[in-house]
Copies of this chain bind each other. A is one copy, B any other.
Amino acid sequence: MIAIDDLKFKDNLIPAIVQDHQTGEVLMFAYMNRESLEKTLDSDIAHYWSRSRGKLWKKGESSGHIQHVRDILVDCDMDTLLLKVRQDGAACHVGYRSCFYRNIKGDIVGKKVFDPEDIY
């Protein structure tokens, strides 16, 4: 077992990459503090730290788009996490399954699965 104390938090946060556990699609990127990681480990439901709102953030709390955590990988430097999840609905608040729905050329490469106006 890797202990939470083994992980390297920077300014109390650790980056978390979120990936669909079956398709491998990268869904989003967020930060966790110690409390959100503990809640995630306890519940198997992804919790993050919202830097914009300055508070604990249970993903999907308002939208219902919960992330069920299947595994958590740790990188060689112990300063980044990779969550393997089953995503209910979509990860992106804009309505795409993944937040990475555009490439740098501006092409839409992702799949839209809901209309934000129906949800929020």
- Chain B residues with CB under 8 A of A71: 103-104, 109
Residues of chain B within 8 A of A77, CB atoms compared: 99
| Distance between A112 CB and nearest chain B CB, rounded to angstroms | 12
User: Size of chain A's interface in residues, with CB distance under 8 A?
Assistant: 35
Q: Interface on chain A toward B: helix, strand, loop, or mixed SS?
A: loop
Task: Take A24-B23, A26-B17, A82-B100 as given contacts and tell me if A73 and B109 are in contact as well, using a CB distance cutoff of 8 Å.
Answer: yes
Measured between beta carbons, the chain B residues less than 8 angstroms from A93 are 76
Copies in the complex: 2
Chain B, residue nearest A110 (CB) = B73
How far is it, in angstroms, between the C-alpha of A82 and the C-alpha of B82 when the chains are bound? Answer: 14
Question: Measured between alpha carbons, how far is A10 from B75 in the docked complex, in Å?
Answer: 22
Query: Are B73 and A102 within 8 A (Cβ)?
Result: yes
Q: Which B residues are CB-close (under 8 A) to A104? A: 1-2, 41, 71-74, 81
A sample of 9 inter-chain contacts (CB < 8 A) reads A19-B26, A26-B26, A72-B104, A73-B100, A73-B101, A73-B103, A74-B102, A76-B94, A76-B99
